[in-house]
Amino acid sequence: MSAAALGRQFPGQRAFITGGGSGLGLALATHLAAAGWTLGLLDREPSRLADARTQLLQHGAPGVHTWVADVTDEVAFGAAVTAFADAVGGLELMVNNAGVATAGSIASAPIADWRWALEINVIGVAIGCRAALPLMLRGAGGLVINIASAAAFAAGAEMASYNASKAAVVALTETLAAEHGDDGIRALVAMPGFFPTRLLDTMRGPAAALGFAQRMMQRSDYTAERVALEILAAAAAGRLHLVTPKAYARLWLFKRLAPAYFVRWMARQRARAAQRRGGGSTERT
């Protein structure tokens, strides 16, 4: 089991997860709970946190500590991470999972949506990293997992602010690895494709973009539980990047090998999809 393998590498088995009340955050917490990890969860929804705590204790977590806060609140978020480490004696794993979705073109999307996406998806992750690093540095090291998206590299049109925010998470994670790799601190950035989650509950952007994202999620045969397992397995293997599922991993390789051609190819796919829709088809690429 990947969570158990990770636990052998970090015997303290203490993890803090943002957005831990549902979706991918809760799926990661559930796998860790079953492997005996003590958990700290941060979320904006008290009822979700309460339900998650009950569920995780039933799955075997020796302890579950919860905080209601926003990841953009540097004081409250930082205090929660420190309080968790103080309560359980340290921190080995920090998962920056909380995020939001936005859509709209560069020209049309409100700047308020840009600020919202960047503040939560990038600054929130940075605050989490900054809160965890001192605790890991004074311990025996640790691991930071940041959740980005395949949108970080497959930068489709009409998703400018979201694409940019997730690309920034990749760069932030790579920088963390460069700065602290010699300190016993590892980093992993996960870039999953579409899978069912609550991300769209608060999505900002045109109705057409929301509808497209909903259809892509519905068509996906991936689940948060499966993505969580792959993330923990990649973390246990010491990887820096994870792109999943395989179809997206192939796109990641394509982009790295031929970036300019990849951008042109993405534009052609979009044009073909638009042509099919114009002909009455509902098929999307």
How high is the pLDDT of residue 65? 98
Give dist(CA 150, CA 129) in Å, integer: 21
- The residue with greater pLDDT, 257 or 216, is 257
- Give 75-116 pLDDT, tens digit per residue: 999 999 999 999 999 999 999 999 999 999 999 999 999 999
How high is the pLDDT of residue 283? 32
The pLDDT of residue 285 is above 70: no
The pLDDT of residue 253 is above 50: yes
Contacts of residue 220, defined as CB under 8 A and 6 or more positions apart, other chains included, come to 193, 194, 195, 196
Contacts of residue 237, defined as CB under 8 A and 6 or more positions apart, other chains included, come to none
Mean pLDDT of the chain: 92
The pLDDT of residue 225 is above 90: yes
Q: Which residues are catalytic?
A: 162
Average pLDDT of the segment spanning 213-236: 86
The pLDDT of residue 215 is above 60: yes
Res. 276 pLDDT band, cuts 50 70 90 = confident
Res. 190 pLDDT band, cuts 50 70 90 = very high
How high is the pLDDT of residue 284? 29
Average pLDDT of the segment spanning 42-57: 97
Res. 2 pLDDT band, cuts 50 70 90 = confident
Supply the CATH classification number for the domain 2-244. 3.40.50.720
All structural domains of the chain with their residue ranges: 2-244
> Any idea which of 37-41, 155-159, 239-243, 251-255 has the lowest mean pLDDT?
155-159
Average pLDDT of the segment spanning 264-271: 88
The percent of residues in the chain predicted with pLDDT above 90, rounded, is 78
DSSP for the chain, please give it: -HHHHHHHHSTT-EEEEETTTSHHHHHHHHHHHHTT-EEEEEES-HHHHHHHHHHHHHTT-S-EEEEE--TT-HHHHHHHHHHHHHHHT---EEEE-----B-B-TTTS-HHHHHHHHIIIIIHHHHHHHHHHHHHHTTT-EEEEEE--GGGTS--TTBHHHHHHHHHHHHHHHHHHHHHGGGTEEEEEEEE-----SGGGG-BS-HHHHHHHHHHHHH----HHHHHHHHHHHHHTT-SEEEESHHHHHHHHHHHH-HHHHHHHHHHHHHHHHHHHHTT-----
The percent of residues in the chain predicted with pLDDT above 70, rounded, is 94
- The residue with greater pLDDT, 177 or 221, is 177
Average pLDDT of the segment spanning 25-43: 98
Average pLDDT of the segment spanning 251-255: 95
- Give 129-184 pLDDT, tens digit per residue: 999 999 999 988 999 999 999 999 998 888 899 999 999 999 999 999 999 999 99
How high is the pLDDT of residue 281? 35
